[in-house]
Amino acid sequence: MPHTQPTATEAALLNWINTFPLDSEVESLLDLTDGRVLSLMLEDLDPAYAVELEQPTPSSKWLAKKRSLETVYKSLLRYVRVQCPDLDPMTLENPADFNSIAEHDDAEQTIKVVTYERKPQLGATDICIQLLTIFLLAAVHGTNKAKYINTIQNRLDLTSQNEIASVIQKMQPNDKNTDAKAVDETLPHKIHQDIELALEEEHAKLSAAYSDLKKKHADYITRFRRLEESHAELQEHSSEIESRLRVLQDSDDGDKVAHIKDLMTRLQEANDLIANQEQQVETDRVTKERQEKELGNLRPSAQRLIQIEDQLNELKVENTTLTRKANKVDHYQKKLENLQNIERENAHLREQIETLELNMREFDKVNEDKSKMEQTIREFKSLISNLELENVTLIQNKNRLDEEVRFRDDQIQKLHERQQHDEKFIKDLQEQFNTDVAGPSPPSPTTGHAKLTLEQELEQSDDAAPNYALEISRLRAENQVLKSSTGGVTNANLRTDIEEGERIRKRLQENYQGLLEKHTIAQQQLNAALSSSPDPKSVTLIDDILKIGPYKLLTDDVHRDEAFRNLQRLYRENTAELASTKSKLGETQSRLQSQERELLDAKADLEAVAQDEIDALETLKETNEAITTSLQNDLLVLQNAHKNITIDFDQQKTHLLNTLLVKDQLIKDLADARADDGSNSQLDGKEKAESLLLNLLHLEMGLKSNSQLSHLVLYLFLCLHYSSGKARASSTVLKHKIQQLELTLSLQIQKQELVIQDLQRRLKIAEESSPDAQKAANETMIKNLTRENALIASAWYDLSSRLQSNHVVLQRRQDAPKSWLNKQRQMVNSTPRR
């Protein structure tokens, strides 16, 4: 594996490592990953801190490396705490990541492991350089620092010495500013799994005790340093006093006994203080030794706790692996159950398919029998139709021959008559000739009439004998004119005019009948109103009514109502019967015309058989023109009928709307009249009734509408009853009349609605019976049938393809797994192959 060129710092550290008594020379930082070289270096620093490394196994090589590095690092930290307390904070700032070193085998991943978030400037510094820096500082600050300093100065070159000096100088500020707390960062902060609660509790107690001991140790060190400083100050002060005392003793200035005693007292106090401080120092030293012993006793427990944590991590990894395998087993069991359910469903579907195939075969057989029967029926129908056609043809030929025989008989009879006439005429001429020979000869008719034409001679002839040839030619010309298009259109126009006149006559007759009914009802209501109102002012109202039209007073003895109802019923029955007869007659005429067209077409075909091609084409052309003209005439008649129906519908609709508007106005006026009856006096009611009656009369005269007559009568009846003095006594009669009028109006409205619905139905039927509508309906039916056939075919294809694809998947064998994950799944889900 290729490695990059080491830097100057790495080269200097490698040269310094090779100064230690090692088994072999270290060539690169990759040789430090197993911890063997670091263990020999630690043993050279202090044999008391030497450790025994674990032998790596092939299954846990990285775990053995990790444990070896952790053991060497912890032993080095203990050495630093005991021998070099000032370096303890520096080592705790940058803890080493031994997992990353142990997991990677190449030099790049071993050296460049972690970039710490707390010090981004250390991103380019690898873990091995940090460990070697810690070893270097421990060597130059330890108990044997003179030995290692001399080795650096004597055995290394100047470049390596400068690099090592720069490394030490970089780490010196950290040594001055750090405090005395040292925390073993390799110990776990928290154990997340609750597998062994006793180990967790013991670990918590040991951590708390270790923290307390560290705090007490830091306090003792601080107090010891302060005592040393005080002891040095006291020693200086004592030496100063002694010097001063010697000066005073040597001087001859006077007796200084008091001063000397005072100084001796102070000196004694200082000595006592020094003794107390020395005793305190001895007590602190004993306490420190005792705590170190306790700490040495706790280290095996901590080491054992680390081993237990490693085992716990291994158990966690194994537990996770087993959990995944168990989940895979559950997943594959569920998948197996689903596959079994699918197999059962497929077996059920296969049974259904077999049943459907049997049914399909039976259906095919029945369908074949049906097709054969239908073919037989069609053949019989065609045979019967051919026989019927032959029979009809024979009948038509017979009729035609009969007609020809009759026509020939008539011609023969006419020829006989003409022959007799000619013989008689010849006989007369002979007689005349004989008489002319006997007497003077008259002027010749040929000489006097030589310039006359045949038509003039016939007109001037006194002979009354008919000219049959001329009559036959004229009749043929008239027949040709009738068969031509001009004659057909004229006949169609005449027929349309006749139907239009019939329709107008029918509508006028219906209007007259309605007017007659309303007039009769109005006369009855006026008669009842006049009989129940003794007011003399009603005479003026009657005069106003008589101005509109004739009025007849009916007596109670004559049973006009019953007779009128009977006549009305008979009239309606006869009208319905007449309408049905007319409709049947129209249908019969249409069928007759269609049959005539078919007969004409058949005759043309029959005549074309015995004629030449040109004559046959001319005959067919004339026949087609006649048929086309007939169809055009029928279409024109139908269009006019549709137009008339539309006009009648619009008129009836307008009439109905006017009736409804007048009814609403009548209801409003009646409500106002009832309200005014309770509030106003009788005289005001009479005047208002008269004004209402006059307004209605003027309205009736202005509108001249038949539908207003019944409403006018109703207003007149109300006004008469409001004007009478017996309004209260006749309230029951008033209500009864009002109900009768409302019932009559409702019956008329219902009748108009029925007529409108019937017209709409007839219009819809006429539209649906048109060729375009039938063609559109046939096209829609064909499209629907095509879509249904496509859907049936696609559904059957999808079902068969889905069943075939499921069958292939179930019958296919699984291939041998290739990837590691598929192999593991096969090992977990070890089911026998089918």
Amino acid 557: pLDDT = 43
What is d(CA 20, CA 8) in angstroms, rounded to the nearest whole number?
20
Sort residue 553 into left (φ over 0), alpha (ψ -120 to 50) or beta. Answer: beta
Is pLDDT of 292 > 80? Answer: yes
Banded model confidence at residue 555, pLDDT cuts 50, 70, 90:
very low
Which of 202-216, 711-725, 774-788 has the lowest average pLDDT? 711-725
Amino acid 712: pLDDT = 45
Judge contact between 183 and 92, C-beta under 8 A: yes
Sort residue 757 into left (φ over 0), alpha (ψ -120 to 50) or beta. Answer: alpha
Is pLDDT of 553 > 50? Answer: no
The residue with tokens 């005289």 is: 683
Give the pLDDT mean for 763-770. 66
Which of 240-249, 439-448, 614-623 has the lowest average pLDDT? 439-448
Closest CA to 91 of 57, 38, 136, 45: 136
Percent of the chain whose pLDDT exceeds 70: 58
Exposure on the CB side of residue 833, measured as CA atoms within 13 A? 7
The residue with tokens 């096969």 is: 826
Amino acid 720: pLDDT = 46
Give the pLDDT mean for 237-258. 73
Helix ranges (H only) for 113-256 are 127-141, 145-155, 158-177, 197-250
Amino acid 569: pLDDT = 74
Amino acid 186: pLDDT = 40
Q: CB neighbours of 17 closer than 8 A, spacing ≥ 6?
A: 26, 37, 41, 132
Amino acid 608: pLDDT = 63
Amino acid 156: pLDDT = 86
Banded model confidence at residue 322, pLDDT cuts 50, 70, 90:
very high
| Angle of helix 682-703 versus helix 709-723 axis, rounded to 10 | 160
Amino acid 165: pLDDT = 86
Is pLDDT of 512 > 50? Answer: yes
| 268-284 tens-digit pLDDT | 888 888 888 888 888 88
CATH class (in words) of the domain with range 8-180: mainly alpha
Sort residue 35 into left (φ over 0), alpha (ψ -120 to 50) or beta. Answer: left
Is pLDDT of 111 > 50? Answer: no
CA dist 277 to 228, 230, 235, 242, 269, Å?
Answer: 9, 9, 12, 21, 12
Which of 294-303, 337-346, 391-400, 780-789 has the lowest average pLDDT? 780-789
What is d(CA 351, CA 357) in angstroms, rounded to the nearest whole number?
10
Is pLDDT of 315 > 60? Answer: yes
* pTM of the entire predicted model: 0.26
| 721-761 tens-digit pLDDT | 444 444 444 455 555 656 666 677 677 677 767 777 776 67
Give the pLDDT mean for 529-539. 57
Amino acid 233: pLDDT = 87
Percent of the chain whose pLDDT exceeds 90: 0
Per DSSP, the three-state class of 537 is coil
The more confidently predicted of residues 773 and 23 is: 23
Q: What is the mean pLDDT of the chain?
A: 69
The more confidently predicted of residues 717 and 357 is: 357
Q: What are the backbone dihedrals phi and psi of residue 254, each rounded to the nearest 5 degrees, phi first?
A: 165, -175
Give the pLDDT mean for 6-20. 84
Q: Can you list the positions of beta strands (E) in 577-668? A: none
Is pLDDT of 429 > 50? Answer: yes
Structure tokens at 548: 């509109």
> Angle CA(664)–CA(658)–CA(732) in degrees, nearest 5?
40
Distance of CA 717 to the CA centre of its chain: 67
The more confidently predicted of residues 819 and 699 is: 819
The more confidently predicted of residues 411 and 774 is: 411
